[in-house]
Amino acid sequence: MKKIEIFEQAMCCPTGVCGPAIDPELLRMSFVLNNLKSSQVEAERFNLTNNPEAFVENQAINHF
């Protein structure tokens, strides 16, 4: 199974699609990830606010 991990900047919620003005690109990203998951692709999305441990544990991201 293929795996995709996306590391995003700090956001107010895990998906970034909250608040008074939803960014259409973040909404599109949520839609794409849901489609990937239904296509048997393991897709995970991490943002710095809610998943700081993922940024620390991933050596490539941590180095970046």
pLDDT in tens, the chain (64 residues): 788 999 988 887 766 667 777 788 888 888 898 888 888 889 999 999 889 999 999 999 988 8
- The ranges assigned to domains in the chain are 3-63
CATH of 3-63, one of 3.40.640.10, 1.10.238.10, 3.40.30.10, 3.30.70.100: 3.40.30.10
Q: Give the pLDDT confidence score for residue 46 in this predicted structure.
A: 92
Alpha carbon distance 59, 64 (integer Å): 9
Q: Give the pLDDT confidence score for residue 7 in this predicted structure.
A: 93
Q: Give the pLDDT confidence score for residue 16 in this predicted structure.
A: 67
Q: Give the pLDDT confidence score for residue 56 in this predicted structure.
A: 94
Cα dihedral across residues 18, 23, 25, 28: positive or negative? positive
Give the list of residues 6+ apart from residue 33 with CB closer than 8 angstroms, or none: 6, 43, 45
Nearest to 14 by CA among 39, 58, 6: 6
Q: pTM to 2 decimals? A: 0.75
